[in-house]
Structures are given as structure tokens and as C-alpha cells.
Amino acid sequence: MAPEEPKRTRKRRKLGRGLSDISHIFLSGADQPEPKAEPDHDLAFWTPDVDILSVTSGEGVRGKTFLAANLAFGLSLEGYRLALVNADPGRPDVLDITGADRADGILDAMKSGAGFGSILEADLVGRYGTGPGGSRQPVSPIEVIDRLATRVQRVIVDTAPRSKPSLSIWKFARLVLVITEPSSEGMKSSYLTIKHVHAVSPGLRVGLVVNFAGDRNEGDKCYRKMSNVCRRFLKTNLRNYGYIVPSEAVGEACGRAVPLVREYPASKIAKCIDYIVRLIVMDQLAIARRRREVTVKTCASREGR
């Protein structure tokens, strides 16, 4: 009797470059249910008249509010009329960073001496409006953005990682910048935030900014790992929006409530922020150009050309 041939064992598939050491990022979040945005019947056909840019991060990842404020200042130098909205109830320090006063109204102009120019600040933390029958109801982020639409071109929203207001903002945003850190815990937390953004709006443009990166190589390495995970498990492309180096100038600028890119223009961190601003402007110009091309082609096809 011929001896039995040994059974062939199926080779284990490799996760690929950069995935083997952070595969726990996906596995640790697999048991968490994906968030579902509640239906907004009143906003079913509402589309914002301004470009919404959401700046968010993972739980415990630092630098979100600082980046949002300095991006607002950098984009205002490019000629955009901007508003900075604070929609993170856990971190209302955007008021301290920008030097804005907490006023009774929803909209509050920045202090002219703080250096943030004519940027408007809209604070949603603890604000209430008048509802049916004179009742006090929490102010909706969409309501504030709708009021700003007649005054500005772009709204930058300091968004909480995972909260109910964040879901409504991500539904109408044009771009979401997610901040991460090179550590495993930072990437894990930021990946879960990206997963929530993808669940709310699968086709939304999502960019990654690596904070506390020692140099470009460390920032690119972190981006490649996160990008490979998002491409494999979420079937989405993550865009690289650069990195931010650690600097003592951050604490000094925040303490004085002045824009870092203006007070320390020659610093390396100011150049990192300027690079992110230029990428946002280039993306905006590319999107506008594609819209014009699509409109021209559509009109030509309708006329039978």
C-alpha cells in the first residue's frame, strides 16, 4: 500500500509592506459598530454654499485645534474669506489660541490685535438657540454654517473625533484632515476616526497630517502604514497632507494668542503648516477646474456637439 501524500497547507497571506506591525489597528476596532448618522429630514436637500474643511484627530492625539487655527490664518493670507468654528465640546481652547472673546451671540469677530485678521469665530460649545414654543435647544453646526455662508467662502471646523455634531459636519464636508502621531496608539486611535468618517461619507476626501514627526522620513513612513491599512480594510485612499515637527514655538504662540506662521515664519514648523496650506489651495483649484470641464462637456453633449 502506497504511503499517503502529505497534505498541502495553504500559505498564509502576507499583509504587505507596513501592515504586519500595525495589523492590530484594524483588529482592535473590528468589534466596534460603525456609527450611523441620524437622518436629517429637514436637510435632505440642503447643500452648503461654502466649502467645509473639518480638522479632527484620534482620541488623545494632540495638535488638532492648533492646526485648525493656523490653517485659517494661512488660508486667509491666500485671499479666502474664512470662519473658524469650534464644534468640539471637550476642547474649547480654540478661543484661547485665537484670542477671541466668548460673546453672547453665535458669531464673534476676532480681536484685531490678536493677529488673526478678519476671521470669524463661531463657538458651538454650550450655545443654545430658541426652539418651538420658546424652548432652548442646542445650536446645530449646520445652522451656524448656514448663517456663515453669506459672509465667508470657507469654514474650518475644529471637530471632535467621534461625536454626534461631527457626523453632521462630515456629511457635508469637502475635506477632512485627520491628525495622527507616529506612535502605535496614535495611529490606532486615528484609524478609528477615519473609519467613522468613511462610514458616514464613503466618498469624502480624507487627508492625513502626522504630528510630532521628527522629519519627513518619519512622517512619510507613518503615512504609508496608515494608507496601506485604509486601502486594505476600508477600500479608500488616504491622502498625504504632510507632517508637523515638534517645536517650542507652539506654546509661545498659543500663550500670546498669535498665529505661529506670522510670528515665526522662518521656523521649520511654520514651513510645515505653509506646505499644508498650499496643498489645500492646490486641491481647491484642481477641483474647481474639473467642475468647469465637466460643466462644459455636459453642456456640449446636451447641445449635440
pLDDT in tens, 200-258: 999 899 999 999 999 999 999 999 999 999 999 999 999 999 999 999 999 999 888 88
Mean pLDDT of 265-292: 88
- What pLDDT does 101 receive? 63
- What pLDDT does 233 receive? 94
Mean pLDDT of 152-168: 87
Mean pLDDT of 252-272: 91
For 99, the grid coordinates are 484670542
Instruction: Could you please state the CATH topology (level 3) that the domain comprising 47-127+136-302 is classified under.
Output: Rossmann fold (3.40.50)
Confidence class for position 15, pLDDT limits 50, 70, 90: very low
- Top-confidence residue, 185 or 116: 185
With contact defined as beta carbons under 8 Å apart, do 265 and 74 qualify? no
Looking at beta carbons, which pairs linking 267-276 to residues 24 or more positions away fall under 8 Å? 269/244, 269/245, 272/242, 272/243, 272/244, 272/245, 273/67, 273/70, 273/71, 273/74, 273/244, 274/74, 275/242, 276/67, 276/71, 276/74, 276/177, 276/209, 276/241, 276/242
For the chain, domain boundaries: 47-127+136-302
What is the pTM for the complete model shown? 0.80
Mean pLDDT of 44-53: 70
